[in-house]
């Protein structure tokens, strides 16, 4: 990773600059709408549906929500993570002396069994940089094969974070490789935030093209909701919306305390550790320090919401059945909030009023073990 | 169904007319490409991969294939069947005396547990026509609920075709409803064929937009391959391509003789019955008489190809993993042919030469029981 002293300030302008850099290397993923799901989100839930939930006894909210899905499941490697990886490697290559000191040959290293591993492997290969990826021995074979397929040097470790970090340290000592963390770095945040810029433009263009007359005043998004694991993407999206008037919200799973950012946001203190086996396996990490400074300290995120694993899987099933899209559980958390979280829905009703909200929803990724799909999708009742 | 004496001639012009009629009622579904899959289709299979298959010992073919997927899985009700249903009901409404004789109230009837049931129910509702759908008692609850959800009157029957037809006859006797068969009627064929027109235009536009200079002579599709069950859609697509120079091919499952159209095409005699439990459950029917006249007698289809259930599921898995699209097994049969059928691949190599083929592939539908996905997608080895 480039030294912190060299990073750009955390502003919307810096996200715009990052976008210029990575645009040739990533897909401008489509933004799609879905009539059935927007209708469902705009229909009050029945009192029976709320029974037995944390919202039992409440009067169901009546928001008007037009949903716009940013399909990063159709991104290269199947997730938004390539954006941050490409930008981080660009910045690293510009760090004075790094290339000249043999940086490309020494390479980069990370420990991850998920989307960040493949993203870094791909970005490194396309930049002619060696990549060392530390993966737990128990990682599923498809992920190992995928990472190796991008030409990375895969090194196995135990599965605890202590074991993984120890192996990573050893790789750094032996190779001189530079660590590229998955989310807790300004360059990563700025890279991921580029999806927020595209989403804004794509929705504006769609609304403009659909306008019946010039009198219509609606211009673009009112709000965006994105998943929050380490917070790299959520904070980047928040930066991309700074000064636009678009409100940004974060979505987390609540299972076994995976809603660390929400709890931190409400208590005023970041929760530094998480140990959860939520089905949203990309969101099992605590929010990082740099993302926290944007999400909470600068209040660029207006609120955090959390949903149960059951709600996440219900949302996921709707995406498969109604949108015919392959998404991973983590990607469905924001939609679950929009459909099932009465706190969020009341807020949207109150603030959106009769005209309602154009709400951007980030589909963060589509990498799911297909063998597990049947169980995941049947297990929602 | 409108009386046969009132149907338009089976020509490309008639497909164009059908398109004008149904355009306001159906989606112009997207056509997408996928670099990984086009690359895979353009890579010769290894001799080892051919071992133990019907192609063992052959020199692997080396076709160059640029794949264009017509996404009817994103169509209304999740399959192309709405095209034929809307067109059939339009023609029926124009039949002299039908509306005046109380036709809309008497309604329409069909027996189907699949996509045709939901397509007819939807088209009937939007035309203010009553719909009676005969479904086997053992149909999966989601399909029954789906059909009822479109406001149809669902009547249960036994699951053999004799039992289903008996109940259908009874409904006709009791209500005066008109039968709308799933594929064996010119109006249905012309309606389904409209997807072929769109595919042609969409690919032409994409190629034109991507051209580096005006010297490039490539204009559009070289060939299209579509699934064949009853043959309504395949024959309609063939009509849509008549006189354009685009070659049309049909794709079937081979399991338990489901490749009836291929066998008929090769022997010169239509095979009137099929009894197969192929995983491509939309293609378990014999090709109908009217489709046969277009596919075989007029030779508007240039060849039929068949693949094993294992090959179909391998293709399906690639679509989920690489394209992040939800498709049903039947929809994956043409892709399986393009990837795994050495007869087809040799033909494409021979005729496409170095420049290769732009090949349209019809993704016919995306209605799959999500609970079954894990098993389907794991069972390919």
pLDDT at A209: 84
Percent pLDDT > 70 in chain A is 98
By C-alpha distance, the chain A residue nearest B327 is A324
Q: Does A36 touch chain B (CB under 8 A)?
A: no
The yes-or-no verdict on residue B235 having pLDDT over 60 is yes
Nearest Cβ partner for B370 among A73, A372, A377:
A377
Confidence bin at A4 (pLDDT 50/70/90): confident
Residue B216 has pLDDT above 70, yes or no: no
Count of alpha carbons within 13 angstroms of residue A103, beta-carbon side: 20
Q: Are residues B265 and B309 in the same domain?
A: yes
**Hey, are the CB atoms on B366 and A74 less than 8 Å from each other?**
no
Is A375 part of the contact surface with chain B (CB cutoff 8 Å)?
A: yes
Over residues A7-36, the mean pLDDT reads 96
* Structural domain includes residue A152: yes
Q: Which of B125, B153, B179 is the last residue of a domain?
A: B179
B195, part of any domain? no
Q: What is the mean pLDDT of chain B?
A: 94
- The H or E element containing residue B251 is strand B247-253
- Flag if B366 and A78 touch (Cβ within 8 Å): no
Q: What is the pLDDT of residues B176-209, one digit of tens each?
A: 999 999 999 999 999 999 999 999 999 999 999 8
Q: What is the pLDDT of residue B381?
A: 40
Nearest 5°: the CA angle A306, A311, A317 is 135
Chain A interface includes B374 (CB < 8 A) = yes
pLDDT, position A114: 86
Lowest mean pLDDT segment, chosen from A251-260, B155-164, B236-245, B285-294: B155-164
Partner residue facing A373 (CB), from B74, B366, B373: B373
Provide the shortest C-alpha distance from residue B335 to chain A (in Å). Answer: 18
**pLDDT classification of A375: cutoffs 50, 70, 90:** confident
The beta-carbon neighbor of B377 closest among A324, A325, A373 is: A373
Please check whether residues B239 and B100 belong to one and the same domain: no
Catalytic residue among B14, B38, B70, B81: B81
pLDDT band at A380 (very low <50, low <70, confident <90, very high): very low
**Are B136 and B247 part of one and the same domain?**
no
In B, minimum Cα distance to A323 occurs at B74
Are residues B113 and B250 located together in one domain of the fold? no
Concerning whether B113 is annotated as a catalytic residue, the answer is yes
pLDDT at A306 over 60: yes
Chain A contact for B37 (CB, 8 A cutoff): no
Residue range A107-145, pLDDT digits in tens: 999 998 789 999 999 999 999 999 999 998 888 787 888
With respect to residue B248, please indicate whether it lies within any of the assigned structural domains.
yes
My answer on whether A118 and A230 are in the same domain is no
For residue A370, give its domain range. 30-74+221-378
Q: ipTM score of the complex?
A: 0.90
**Does any domain span residue A192?**
no
Whether residue B144 is contained in a domain is answered as yes
Instruction: Please identify every residue of A annotated as catalytic.
Output: 81, 113
Which pair of tokens denotes residue B313? 């599921």
Both B234 and B290 in one domain: the answer is yes
Least CB–CB distance from A326: residue in B326, B375, B376: B326
In this structure, is residue A153 part of a structural domain? yes
Sign of CA dihedral B167, B173, B178, B183: positive
User: By the CB < 8 Å criterion, does B155 face chain A?
Assistant: no
> Chain A within 8 Å of B371 (Cβ-Cβ)?
yes
Examine the domain organization and report whether A372 and A248 are in the same domain.
Answer: yes
The verdict on B136 and B265 lying in the same domain is no
Query: Are residues B324 and A321, on separate chains, in Cβ contact within 8 Å?
Result: no
CATH of the domain at A361: 3.40.50.1100
Which chain B residue has the Cα nearest residue A367? B321
Q: Is the predicted pLDDT of residue B379 greater than 70, yes or no?
A: no
Report whether pLDDT(A276) > 60: yes
B327, B366, B371 member nearest A378 (Cβ): B371
Yes or no, beta carbons of A377 and B375 under 8 Å apart? no
Q: B53-98 pLDDT, tens per residue?
A: 999 999 999 999 999 999 999 999 999 999 999 999 999 999 999 9
Residues 264-323 of B with CB under 8 A from A: 317, 320-321, 323
* Residue A238 near residue A301, CB atoms below 8 Å: yes
Enumerate the residues of chain B whose CB falls inside 8 A of the CB of residue A366.
324
Residue B232 and residue B289 share a domain? yes
Question: In total, how many domains does chain B have?
Answer: 2
Residue A212: phi and psi, rounded to 5, are -80, -35
Pick the residue from chain A with its C-alpha nearest to B317.
A370
Share of chain B above pLDDT 90, in %: 86
A273 lies in the same domain as A137: no
Chain A interface disruption, residue of B141, B324, B371, most A CBs within 10 A: B324
Please check whether residue A257 lies inside any domain of the structure.
Answer: yes
State how beta strands A223-227 and A178-179 pair. unpaired
* A171: its two tokens: 């790789």
| pLDDT exceeds cutoff 60 at B380 | no
Q: What is the predicted pLDDT for the residue at A212?
A: 63
Domain-embedded: residue A9: no
Chain B residues near residue A74 by CB distance under 8 angstroms: 324
B263 shares a domain with B129:
no
Could you tell me if A48 and A117 lie in one domain?
A: no
Written in H, E and C, the secondary structure of chain A is CCCHHHCCCCCHHHHHHHHHHHHHHCCCCCEECCHHHHHHHCCCCCHHHHCCCCCCCCCCCCCCEEEEEEEHHHCHHHECHHHHHHHHHHHHHHCCCCCCCCHHHHCEEEECCCHHHHHHHHHHHHCCCCEEEEEECCCCHHHHHHHHHCCCEEEEECCCHHHHHHHHHHHHHHHCCEECCCCCCHHHHHHHHHHHHHHHHHHHHHHHHHCCCCCCCCCCCCEEEEECCCCHHHHHHHHHHCCCCCEEEEEEECHHHCCHHHHHHHHCCCCCCCCCCCCCHHHCCCCCHHHHHHHHHCCCCCEEEEECHHHHHHHHHHHHHHHCECCCHHHHHHHHHHHHCHHHHHHHHHHHCCCCEEEEEEECECCCCHHHHHHHHHCCC
């Amino acid at each position: 990773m480039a030294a912190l002293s060299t990073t750009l300030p955390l502003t919307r302008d810096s996200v715009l600059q990052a976008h210029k850099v990575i645009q040739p290397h990533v897909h401008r993923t489509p933004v799609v709408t879905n009539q059935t799901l927007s209708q469902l989100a705009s229909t009050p839930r029945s009192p029976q549906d709320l029974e037995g939930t944390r919202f039992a006894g409440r009067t169901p909210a009546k928001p008007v929500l037009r949903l716009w899905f940013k399909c990063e499941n159709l991104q290269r490697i199947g997730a938004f993570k390539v954006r941050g990886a490409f930008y981080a490697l660009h910045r690293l290559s510009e760090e004075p002396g790094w290339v000249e000191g043999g940086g490309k040959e020494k390479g980069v290293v990370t420990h991850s069994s998920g989307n960040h591993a493949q993203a870094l492997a791909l970005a490194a290969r396309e930049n002619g940089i060696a990549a060392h990826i530390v993966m737990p021995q128990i990682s599923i074979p498809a992920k190992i094969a995928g990472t190796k397929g991008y030409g990375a040097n895969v090194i196995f470790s135990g599965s605890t974070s202590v074991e993984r970090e120890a192996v990573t340290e050893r790789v750094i000592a032996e190779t001189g490789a530079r660590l590229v963390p998955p989310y807790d770095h300004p360059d990563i945040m700025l890279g991921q935030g580029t999806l927020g810029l595209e989403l804004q433009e794509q929705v504006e263009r769609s609304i403009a093209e659909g306008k019946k007359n010039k009198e219509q005043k609606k211009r673009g998004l009112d709000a965006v909701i994105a998943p929050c694991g380490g917070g790299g993407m959520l904070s980047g999206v928040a930066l991309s919306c700074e000064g636009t008037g678009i409100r940004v919200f974060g979505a987390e799973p609540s299972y076994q305390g995976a809603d660390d950012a929400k709890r931190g946001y409400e208590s005023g203190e970041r929760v530094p550790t998480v140990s959860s086996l939520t089905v949203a396996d990309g969101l099992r990490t605590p929010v990082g320090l740099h993302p926290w400074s944007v999400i909470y300290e600068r209040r660029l995120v207006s609120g955090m919401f959390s949903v149960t694993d059951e709600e996440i899987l219900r949302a996921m099933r709707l995406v498969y059945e109604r949108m015919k899209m392959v998404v991973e559980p983590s990607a469905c958390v924001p939609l679950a909030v929009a459909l099932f979280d009465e706190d969020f829905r009341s807020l949207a009703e109150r603030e959106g009023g009769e005209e309602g909200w154009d709400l951007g929803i980030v589909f963060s990724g589509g990498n799911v073990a297909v063998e597990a799909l049947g169980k995941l999708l049947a297990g929602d009742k």
